């Protein structure tokens, strides 16, 4: 089990950020993802593996004035 934005979510082996975003239907183009408070470079979303028990935060970047 992992936490995604404070909520429990089932963990599976070889779960990458990209797979997680697909499973959670995150389609917003500007996302910041943190695993255990470490920001993950978007170029690594396909290879960054989430471990069981990790705390994942997905943050939508919105600008405005």
pTM over 0.85: yes
Position 53 pLDDT exceeds 90:
yes
Q: What is the mean pLDDT of residues 39-53?
A: 96
Position 25 pLDDT exceeds 80:
yes
Q: How many CB atoms lie within 10 A of CB 48?
A: 18
Tokens (6 digits) for 26: 């995150």
Burial 7-20 (b: 16+ CB within 10 A, else e): eebeeeeebebeeb
SS3 state at 39:
strand
pLDDT of residue 28: 87
Per-chain mean pLDDT for the chain: 94
């Amino acid at each position: 089990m992992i936490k995604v934005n404070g909520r429990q979510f089932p963990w599976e082996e070889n779960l990458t950020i990209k797979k997680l975003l697909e499973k959670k239907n995150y389609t917003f183009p500007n996302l910041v993802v943190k695993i255990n408070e470490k920001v993950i470079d978007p170029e690594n979303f396909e290879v960054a593996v989430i471990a069981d028990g990790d705390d994942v935060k997905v943050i939508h970047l919105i600008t405005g004035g």
